[in-house]
């Protein structure tokens, strides 16, 4: 027979889930091997800076390639890639059919003849013909038409990120941009995202900073929350939902009735606007209905955040925890992207009959890319799980402290030290389970996008059902993971034992606190909606004044996604603190009775709040059952006359 759980923070602990930590180290050793191989065999600067058809990387000195006489040139002053046939680019074996050169400047005016090319080269010092053709020979060499660009040369500007000369003619631009990203199999959305973000990159960065500022304001709001602020937040959310929905419908009708809408991408923008308008209207109706139904619990929400803020006031450094996690994630994502770029350019060189250089991908790159992709998900989830474990450990150390006037010293640092010394394996295991559920979802989405052209309604319904099932399962697992981390912080047990103990406690006590936690989570969700609404509204106004951008609706969706992720990372402090606090409360109620022998660890404010909330819930349940009982007991059978 197993002994009953003590449920007290342990002073002396042992390492948990060591084998999982060893597995994570082995996995990262494999990732480091891939990174080393990518750095040695790849050339990320070739992708970022651009390269010509003769093996020269633009903007730097180059080493000669054996068999390519035009390689090994000094391109320090020639930073831009120019295609000789930019209006008719095609892909052949993942290579552009047009010859590309490194030039010092892109032609900003149309060049209609060889004489114009000659004048441009002499004035700007930038030859637009193959390197071995002298400028003075442009009009005399009989092969000049083959060694120079196709006439007329459209005006072009340098690409903001990858230093390519982009034609400004709408028709040429559309073909060029489509060919530029056609190496990814039929990903037309990538073309729209790339074109829109790079054309309006300053606006996207500004909107991301706006969402960061709004999230920080919300953190301060929830820290000093009271009844007026709750009503103000709800009013702002209602106003934001209605206003954004109205603006989306107005833009839809405005674009639809615009006679200048001719390009295919502009017509696709109209379809996206209609979808956004319908989606935002549905979300607005659902949230407004929930607000109307739950409006009578606002006072308990204020008390709930007072209790949570009282705990955070004892650990003020908890508010900075999302910032450190966010910075660590940014560093890892930058590393991941750098390795991905190097991995994508790893391969061998081949010389063609014309002295041009082609790059062939090395064998096994696809398997390395999948391994690298799994590393992105697992490591990101591991970092977020470490944040949850740190917050939970700090809350636990303060809750199970008898002297509330003298909280533990440096609870956040103590929680981090306990995590790294004893429980990293537990966090690795929890994050791995989330990764296992996310990979099938992503694979199903990939299959759905690959097979959506088949127009099989049954297959589409099946894929959507499977994705929805995995999404619900992932959310449930995240909820239990959080409570398992809190239990590990208390008892020092491994992941499976902690999850089992947490489920046992929640099964007995969760009914009394479910409505409290759910409504608190709903208010935090409204805070995230507030950030997204006003960020998207700012994006609508900014992008609408730049209608010359061919595709801006998809980047607007990404801006909304970034705004939600930023707000979620900051407001997650309140969510994790709330869940950990009420799990500690349930444990306190289970193991203590308030007597002198077994006094509660909770303070009087928390006990009063939970008691009042449960009393209100019982009264409402009793009132809802009373009419039914009166109808059953008060009905009397009468004899028929």
Average pLDDT in the 109-116 region?
Answer: 88
pLDDT at residue 416, rounded to an integer: 92
Q: pLDDT band for position 587 (50/70/90)?
A: confident
Q: Is the pLDDT at 136 greater than 70, yes or no?
A: yes
Instruction: Provide the sign of the torsion angle of the four alpha carbons 12, 18, 24, 30, taken in this order.
Output: positive
Instruction: For residue 283, give every residue at least 6 positions away whose Cβ sits within 8 Å of its Cβ, in sequence order, or none.
Output: 241, 529
Q: Give the closest residue to 171 by CA, choosing from 296, 264, 236, 34.
A: 264
In 78-142, beta strands by DSSP E: 80-83, 91-92, 95-96, 100-103
Instruction: For residue 379, give every residue at least 6 positions away whose Cβ sits within 8 Å of its Cβ, in sequence order, or none.
Output: 28, 332
Average pLDDT in the 236-258 region?
Answer: 78
In 77-182, beta strands by DSSP E: 80-83, 91-92, 95-96, 100-103, 156-158, 165-167
Point out which residues pair with 348 in neighbouring strands.
360
Judged by average pLDDT, the poorest of 302-306, 376-380, 504-508, 632-636 is: 632-636
Please check whether residue 550 is in contact with residue 263, taking contact to mean a CB–CB distance below 8 angstroms.
yes
The 8 Å CB, 24+ separation contacts for 350-353 are: 351/65, 351/66, 351/67, 351/68
Point out which residues pair with 80 in neighbouring strands.
103
Q: pLDDT band for position 640 (50/70/90)?
A: very low
pLDDT at residue 5, rounded to an integer: 62
Q: pLDDT band for position 426 (50/70/90)?
A: very high
Q: Give the closest residue to 316 by CA, choosing from 416, 227, 407.
A: 407
Q: Give the closest residue to 401 by CA, choosing from 604, 583, 601, 605.
A: 601
- Which helix (H) or strand (E) segment is 347 a member of? strand 347-351
Average pLDDT in the 388-409 region?
Answer: 83
Judged by average pLDDT, the poorest of 290-299, 485-494, 591-600 is: 290-299
Backbone angles phi and psi of 509, in degrees to 5: -115, -10
Q: Is the pLDDT at 94 greater than 70, yes or no?
A: no
pLDDT tens-digit profile of 300-334?
A: 667 777 778 888 888 888 888 888 888 888 888 88
- What are the CA-CA distances from residue 512 to residues 12, 37, 293, 616, 618 (Å)? 33, 55, 20, 11, 10
Q: Is the pLDDT at 269 greater than 70, yes or no?
A: no
Enumerate the domain spans of the chain. Answer: 50-186, 200-347+365-435+511-615
Judged by average pLDDT, the poorest of 253-267, 438-452, 554-568, 616-630 is: 616-630
Please check whether residue 284 is in contact with residue 241, taking contact to mean a CB–CB distance below 8 angstroms.
yes
pLDDT at residue 457, rounded to an integer: 66
Q: Is the pLDDT at 387 greater than 50, yes or no?
A: yes
pLDDT at residue 26, rounded to an integer: 96
pLDDT at residue 17, rounded to an integer: 92
CA angle 196, 558, 229 (to 5 degrees): 130
Q: Give the closest residue to 586 by CA, choosing from 575, 605, 602.
A: 602
What is the rounded distance in angstroms from the CA atom of residue 59 to the CA atom of residue 80? 8
pLDDT at residue 185, rounded to an integer: 38
Among 90-94, 162-166, 315-319, 494-498, name the most confident range.
494-498
Q: Is the pLDDT at 178 greater than 80, yes or no?
A: no
Higher-confidence residue of 620 and 583: namely 583
pLDDT at residue 46, rounded to an integer: 75
pLDDT at residue 191, rounded to an integer: 41
| 3 state SS for 462-485 | HHHHHHHHHHHHHHHHHHHHHHHH
pLDDT at residue 356, rounded to an integer: 83
Q: Is the pLDDT at 629 greater than 80, yes or no?
A: no
Q: pLDDT band for position 32 (50/70/90)?
A: very high
- What are the CA-CA distances from residue 321 to residues 140, 157, 380, 398 (Å)? 69, 43, 15, 17
Q: pLDDT band for position 219 (50/70/90)?
A: confident
pLDDT at residue 10, rounded to an integer: 63
The H helix count followed by the E strand count for the chain is 18, 8
In 216-326, beta strands by DSSP E: none
> In this structure, how many other beta carbons lie within 10 angstroms of the beta carbon of residue 404?
14
- Which helix (H) or strand (E) segment is 360 a member of? strand 357-361
Average pLDDT in the 13-35 region?
Answer: 93
Q: pLDDT band for position 18 (50/70/90)?
A: very high
Please check whether residue 260 is in contact with residue 544, taking contact to mean a CB–CB distance below 8 angstroms.
no
CA angle 610, 615, 616 (to 5 degrees): 100
Backbone angles phi and psi of 83, in degrees to 5: -100, 135
Q: pTM for this structure? A: 0.72
**C-alpha 535: how far from chain center:** 16
Q: Name the average pLDDT for the chain.
A: 76
pLDDT tens-digit profile of 509-552?
A: 655 566 666 767 777 877 787 788 778 777 777 766 555 444 56
Average pLDDT in the 256-270 region?
Answer: 60
pLDDT at residue 349, rounded to an integer: 78
pLDDT tens-digit profile of 449-507?
A: 666 555 566 666 777 777 778 778 888 888 889 889 999 998 889 999 999 988 888 87
Q: pLDDT band for position 143 (50/70/90)?
A: confident
pLDDT at residue 29, rounded to an integer: 96
pLDDT at residue 409, rounded to an integer: 81
What is the rounded distance in angstroms from the CA atom of residue 398 to the CA atom of residue 285? 41
Q: Is the pLDDT at 8 greater than 60, yes or no?
A: yes
pLDDT tens-digit profile of 36-63?
A: 988 887 776 776 778 888 888 888 888 8
* 208-237 b/e (C-beta count within 10 Å ≥ 16 → b): bebbbebbeebbebbbebeeeebeebbebb
**Percent of the chain at pLDDT exceeding 90:** 10
Average pLDDT in the 72-100 region?
Answer: 77
Judged by average pLDDT, the poorest of 90-94, 247-251, 332-336, 587-591 is: 90-94
What is the rounded distance in angstroms from the CA atom of residue 17 to the CA atom of residue 23? 10
pLDDT at residue 404, rounded to an integer: 66
pLDDT at residue 628, rounded to an integer: 47
Instruction: For residue 88, give every residue at least 6 positions away whose Cβ sits within 8 Å of its Cβ, in sequence order, or none.
Output: 98, 150, 175
pLDDT at residue 386, rounded to an integer: 92
> Half-sphere exposure of residue 45, counting CA atoms within 13 Å on the CB side?
11
What is the rounded distance in angstroms from the CA atom of residue 563 to the CA atom of residue 566? 5
Q: How far apart are the first and last CA of the chain?
A: 68
Judged by average pLDDT, the poorest of 154-168, 433-447, 495-509, 584-598 is: 154-168
CA angle 148, 149, 155 (to 5 degrees): 140
For residue 155, give the 3-state DSSP assignment: coil
Q: Give the closest residue to 81 by CA, choosing from 151, 195, 165.
A: 165
For residue 28, give the 3-state DSSP assignment: helix
Q: Is the pLDDT at 378 greater than 90, yes or no?
A: yes
**Percent of the chain at pLDDT exceeding 70:** 74
Point out which residues pair with 355 in neighbouring strands.
none
Average pLDDT in the 380-401 region?
Answer: 89
Point out which residues pair with 61 in neighbouring strands.
74
Q: pLDDT band for position 1 (50/70/90)?
A: very low
């Amino acid at each position: 027979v197993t002994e009953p759980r003590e449920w007290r923070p342990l002073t002396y602990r042992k390492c948990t889930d060591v084998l999982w930590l060893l597995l994570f180290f082995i996995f990262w050793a494999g990732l480091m091997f891939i990174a080393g191989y990518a750095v040695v065999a790849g050339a990320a600067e070739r992708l970022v800076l651009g390269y010509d058809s003769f093996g020269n990387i633009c903007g730097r000195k180059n080493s000669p390639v054996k068999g390519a006489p035009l390689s090994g040139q000094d391109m320090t002053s020639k930073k831009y890639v120019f295609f000789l046939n930019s209006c008719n680019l095609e892909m052949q074996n993942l290579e552009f059919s047009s010859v590309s050169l490194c030039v010092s400047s892109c032609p900003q005016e149309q060049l209609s003849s060889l004489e114009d090319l000659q004048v441009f080269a002499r004035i700007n010092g930038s030859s637009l013909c193959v390197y071995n053709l002298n400028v003075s020979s442009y009009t005399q060499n009989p092969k000049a038409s083959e060694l120079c660009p196709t006439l007329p040369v459209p005006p072009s500007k340098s690409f903001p990120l990858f230093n390519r000369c982009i034609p400004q003619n709408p028709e040429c631009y559309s073909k060029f941009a489509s060919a530029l990203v056609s190496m990814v199999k039929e990903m037309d959305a990538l073309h729209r995202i790339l074109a829109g973000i790079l054309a309006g990159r300053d606006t996207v960065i500004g909107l991301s900073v706006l969402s960061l500022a709004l999230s920080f304001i919300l953190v301060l709001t929830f820290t000093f929350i009271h009844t007026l602020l709750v009503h103000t937040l709800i009013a702002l959310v209602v106003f934001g939902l209605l206003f954004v929905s109205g603006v989306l419908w107005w833009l839809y009708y405005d674009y639809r009735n615009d006679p200048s809408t001719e390009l295919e991408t502009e017509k696709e923008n109209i379809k996206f606007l209609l979808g956004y308008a319908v989606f935002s209207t549905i979300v607005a109706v659902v949230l407004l209905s929930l607000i109307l139904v739950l409006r009578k619990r606002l006072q308990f929400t204020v008390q709930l955040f007072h209790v949570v803020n009282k705990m955070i006031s004892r650990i003020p450094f908890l508010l900075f925890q999302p910032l450190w996690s966010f910075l660590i994630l940014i560093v890892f994502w930058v590393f991941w992207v750098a390795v991905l770029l190097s991995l994508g350019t790893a391969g061998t060189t081949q010389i063609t009959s014309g002295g041009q250089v082609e790059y062939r991908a090395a064998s096994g790159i696809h398997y390395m890319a999948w391994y690298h992709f799994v590393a992105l998900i697992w490591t990101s989830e591991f970092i977020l799980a470490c944040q949850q474990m740190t917050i939970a450990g700090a809350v636990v150390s303060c809750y199970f402290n008898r002297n509330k006037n003298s909280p533990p010293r440096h609870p956040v640092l103590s929680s981090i030290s306990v995590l790294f010394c004893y429980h990293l394996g537990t966090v690795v295991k929890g994050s791995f389970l989330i990764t296992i559920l996310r990979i099938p979802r992503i694979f199903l989405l990939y299959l759905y996008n690959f097979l959506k052209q088949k127009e099989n309604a049954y297959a589409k319904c099946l894929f959507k059902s499977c994705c929805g099932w995995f999404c619900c399962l992932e959310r449930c697992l995240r909820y239990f993971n959080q409570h398992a981390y809190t239990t590990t912080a208390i008892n020092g047990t491994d992941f499976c034992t902690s999850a089992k103990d947490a489920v046992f406690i929640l099964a007995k006590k969760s009914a009394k606190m479910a409505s409290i936690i759910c409504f608190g989570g709903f208010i935090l969700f409204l805070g995230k909606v507030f950030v997204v609404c006003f960020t998207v509204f700012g994006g609508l106004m900014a992008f609408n004044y730049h209608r010359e951008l061919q595709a801006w609706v998809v980047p607007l969706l990404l801006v909304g996604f970034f705004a939600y992720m930023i707000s979620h990372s900051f407001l997650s402090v309140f969510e994790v603190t709330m869940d950990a606090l009420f799990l500690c409360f349930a444990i306190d109620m289970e193991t203590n009775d308030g007597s002198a022998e077994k006094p509660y660890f909770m303070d009087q404010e928390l006990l009063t709040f939970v008691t009042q909330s449960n009393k209100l819930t019982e009264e409402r349940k009793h009132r809802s059952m009373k009419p039914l009982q009166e109808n059953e007991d008060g009905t009397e059978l009468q004899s028929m006359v």
